[in-house]
């Protein structure tokens, strides 16, 4: 829920700032910057909640904490590269693939009731998927529209 709030609020603020500065609305640019802001926000979670996020990774995958750190760094790199016009298109596709690859971790976490902020197994469970899966697809569509379609 927090990433959605960050995405929508930053989009609204950026859209209004662009309107004030350039006297026009630029939805694609605002959406692209908002996605970068949201990625930076979620990347922070990888460093603040490493233990809990490592619980989202199936047991058979080794070096879970390292993987969490690497994906956090990867999100920061993607956030920056989305803002560089030369790399925006390819970064958009890479982010779409990344979001698709992260969906199984979110499903696994829900099935195992992972509370990544506490690092426990008392999370929302399967009911969270009714929100998380559509949210993941919203992020994918948002990325496609703001980086790939209008490149």
Q: Domain count for the chain, please give it.
A: 1
Return all residues near 65 (Cβ < 8 A) that are at least 6 apart: 50, 51, 54
9: tokens are: 């609020």
| Assigned domain for 63 exists | yes
Tens digits of per-residue pLDDT, 32-48?
999 999 999 999 999 99
| Assigned domain for 125 exists | yes
Kindly report the backbone phi and psi dihedral angles of residue 105, in degrees, each rounded to the nearest multiple of 5, phi listed first: -65, -40
Domain enclosing residue 54, as ranges: 35-149
Report yes or no on whether pTM surpasses 0.75.
Answer: yes
| Assigned domain for 112 exists | yes
pLDDT of residue 128: 83
| Assigned domain for 2 exists | no
| Assigned domain for 7 exists | no
Tens digits of per-residue pLDDT, 47-105?
999 999 999 998 898 999 999 999 999 999 999 999 999 999 999 999 999 999 999 98
């Amino acid at each position: 829920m927090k990433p959605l709030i960050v995405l929508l609020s930053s989009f609204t603020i950026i859209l209004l700032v662009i309107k004030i500065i350039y006297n026009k609305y630029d939805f694609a640019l605002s959406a692209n910057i908002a996605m970068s802001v949201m990625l930076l926000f979620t990347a922070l979670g990888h460093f603040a909640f490493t233990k809990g996020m490592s619980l989202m990774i199936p047991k058979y995958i080794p070096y879970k904490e390292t993987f969490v750190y690497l994906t956090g760094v990867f999100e920061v790199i993607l956030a920056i590269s989305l803002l560089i016009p030369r790399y925006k298109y390819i970064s958009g596709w890479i982010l779409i693939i990344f979001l698709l690859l992260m969906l199984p971790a979110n499903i696994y976490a829900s099935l195992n009731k992972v509370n990544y902020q506490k690092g426990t197994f008392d999370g929302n469970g399967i009911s969270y998927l009714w929100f998380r899966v559509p949210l993941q697809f919203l992020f994918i569509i948002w990325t496609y529209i703001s980086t790939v379609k209008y490149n």
